[in-house]
Amino acid sequence: MKQLSSHTLRTLSMPLGMVVGALLCRQIVALDSWSSGYLTPLLIFVMLFFTYCRVDITKMRVTMMHFFLFAAQIVGSVALYILFLPLGQTVAQGAMICALAPIAMAAVVIGGMLGANIENMTTYSLLCNLGTALVAPFILSWVGDGECTLMQILSKVAPLLVAPFVAGQLCRFLTPKVAGWVADHSRYSFYIWLVSLSIVVGRTTAFVIDHSATEAKTEIILAAISAVICLAQFALGRKIGAKYGDTVAGGQSLGQKNTILAIWMAQSFLSPLSAVAPTAYIVWQNIVNSYQIYKKRD
C-alpha cells in the first residue's frame, strides 16, 4: 500500500507541479527576480549532483546509439523546418527548435527512475549538449534573424552540465562515503526537479500572458505541432534505443528536451512567437513522462 501511494504521488506530481507553476506564475516570477535568476540554476545543480554521484565514470562509453540519436536530432530539425516552411517562417522555426534542442539535463533523473542506464544517458547528455553548441549556431544563423555563436550557447549549457558532473565525480573520488549517501538518496533529485519544473512553467506562463500576440491561430498551430513532434521524438528515440538494448534511454534522450535553452534560442535568434512551440513542449513532454511513470511500477 505504501509503494502504491508513492507511485501514485510520483505519477500525479508532474501535472500538479505544472498547474501550481501556472497558477502562481506572478509569485514565481517575483521569487525568481528576487534571486537574480539563480534559483533555477541552483536547483538544477543540486538535482544533477544527486544523480551524478551514482554515475561510475569507468562505465561511460560512447556508442553508435548516441551517434544515431544526435543525427536524428540535427537532421530532424532541418527536415522539420523545410517541411513546415509553407505554413510560414514562424511555424517552421517553432517546429525546428523543438527538434534542435538537446536532451534535457533532467532527462537523466527521469530516465534513471524508469530503469535506463544512467551512465549511458550521462554520456549522451554531455555529448549532445556540447555537440548542439557546435552545430546550432550554423542552423540558427541560417533560419533566424540574429547571429548565434558557439560561446553564447556554451555559456547557457556548460556551467550547469559540466559543473555538477565534475562535483559528483570528485565527491565519489575524495569522499566515497558521502557520495554513497547522496547516491542512496538520489530519489530526492526528482522532487528538486519538480520545484524547478514549477518555476519554469510559472516563468513561461507569465511570458505567454505578457506577450500574448494577436496571432492566436499561429499559436494554436505551434502548440499542436509541438505535441506531434514530442510524441514522434519519444517514439523514434525508443526505437533507436531498443536496437542497442536501452529503450528508455533512447526515448528520454531524444524526446525529453532542454526547453529552457530552446525558449532562449527562439526568443534570441528566431521570431519571438516561435517560442510558443517549445513552451507548449514543456507540457507535452511532462504528460508523456507522467504516463511513463504511471506505467512503471516499483
Using H for helix, E for strand and C for coil, what is the string for the chain? CHHHHHHHHHHHHHHHHHHHHHHCHHHHHHHHHHCCCCHHHHHHHHHHHHHHCCCCHHHCCCCHHHHHHHHHHHHHHHHHHHHHHHHCHHHHHHHHHHHHCCECCCHHHHHHHCCCCHHHHHHHHHHHHHHHHHHHHHHHHHHCCCCCCHHHHHHHHHHHHHHHHHHHHHHHHHCHHHHHHHHHCCCHHHHHHHHHHHHHHHHHHHHHHHCCCCCHHHHHHHHHHHHHHHHHHHHHHHHHHHHCCCHHHHHHHHHCECHHHHHHHHHHHCCHHHHHHHHHHHHHHHHHHHHHHHHCCC
Write out pLDDT tens, residues 125-173. 989 988 998 898 889 888 877 677 778 888 877 777 788 888 889 998 8
Residue 297 or residue 55, greater confidence:
55
- pLDDT grade, residue 297 (50/70/90)? low
High-pLDDT (> 70) share of the chain, %: 94
How large is the average pLDDT for residues 237-246? 95
In this prediction, residue 4 carries a pLDDT of 47
Grid cell listed for 93: 522555426
The Cα 241–Cα 141 span in angstroms is: 31
Closest among 40, 14, 80 to 264, alpha carbons compared: 40
High-pLDDT (> 90) share of the chain, %: 33
In this prediction, residue 1 carries a pLDDT of 43
- Range among 38-42, 151-155, 183-187, 277-281 rated most confident: 277-281
Residue 2 has pLDDT above 50, yes or no: no
Residue for grid cell 544563423: 141
- pLDDT grade, residue 204 (50/70/90)? confident
In this prediction, residue 160 carries a pLDDT of 77
Residue 196 has pLDDT above 90, yes or no: no
Residue 42 has pLDDT above 60, yes or no: yes
- pLDDT grade, residue 212 (50/70/90)? low
In this prediction, residue 85 carries a pLDDT of 94
- Range among 6-10, 154-158, 173-177 rated most confident: 173-177
State the chain's mean pLDDT as an integer: 86
Give the least confident one: 55-59, 61-65, 245-249.
Answer: 55-59
Write out pLDDT tens, residues 108-121. 888 888 888 989 99
Residue 5 has pLDDT above 70, yes or no: no
The Cα 135–Cα 146 span in angstroms is: 15
The Cα 249–Cα 115 span in angstroms is: 8
Residue 222 or residue 191, greater confidence:
222
Is residue 238 within 8 Å of 251, Cβ to Cβ? Answer: yes
How large is the average pLDDT for residues 38-50? 83
Give the CA distances from residue 274 to residues 22, 79, 177, in Å, rounded to whole numbers and listed in that order.
20, 17, 47
The Cα 262–Cα 267 span in angstroms is: 9
Residue for grid cell 534505443: 241
Residue for grid cell 514530442: 230
Domains of the chain: 7-295 (1.20.1530.20)
